[in-house]
Amino acid sequence: MNNEVSVTAVHPDIERVLVTEEQLRKRNADLGAMISHDYTDREVLVVGVLKGAAWFVSDLTRHMTCDFTVDYMAVSSYGAAHKSSGVVRILKDLEVPLEGRHVLIAEDILDTGLTLKYLIRNFLGRGAASVEVAACVVKEGAQEEEVDVKYEGFVLPNEFVVGYGLDYAQRYRGLPYIGVLRPSVYEGE
């Protein structure tokens, strides 16, 4: 068996890697421990926002030792472009009622804050007992809506990033790191 550590080559469309696979693993372990500590006495419903947060939810919950269940919601955000449309639309709703539930929204990235603001208000309106937010990435200075992110993975500069669930035109989600796309990839769109 070959025990050498393999170094994954960076995708040619990636200009810079901002968060490595190892940094993601460590931060998810920290966040999972914090969440488990905060929810020791109550069950939490983790709501992943599809598609981007699926990778984050999958890794984060592996580090959670408290009682939890998982559900997913899909909302529209960017379409194929790399700029926010500012329109939030529910494409797939939750399968469980929220009445009296403690909800933790898991989001891939907080950009303008429109999506999270909408979801928090929507979940409280459905009778959730509490709603908190875990975001893998928070874009510095990009928020148009104030959102309180209790569990924050990484604060990154306000640039368009891909990888670890984040796409550009549905591509690059599977990259194990988060990086900045070369402008030549979306120039001329």
Position 160 contacts ligand 5GP (CB under 6 A): yes
Write down the catalytic residue from 41, 111, 148, 167. 111
Residue in 36, 58, 84, 130 binding ligand 5GP, rule: CB under 6 A: 84
Beta bridge partners of 73: 49
Cis peptide before 51 (omega within 30 of 0): yes
Contacts of residue 65, Cβ cutoff 8 Å, sequence gap at least 6: 32, 36
Q: Annotated catalytic, 148?
A: no
Q: What is the largest CA-CA distance in the chain?
A: 55
Q: For ligand 5GP, which stretch binds (CB under 6 A), given 19-27, 54-62, 119-127, 160-168?
A: 160-168
Beta bridge partners of 6: none
Residue in 31, 64, 106, 110 binding ligand 5GP, rule: CB under 6 A: 110
Q: Residue 167 Cβ, how far from ligand 5GP at the closest point, in Å?
A: 5
Both tokens of 124, joined, read 């409280």
Q: Which residues bind ligand 5GP (CB under 6 A)?
A: 49, 52, 77-78, 84, 107-115, 160-162, 166-168
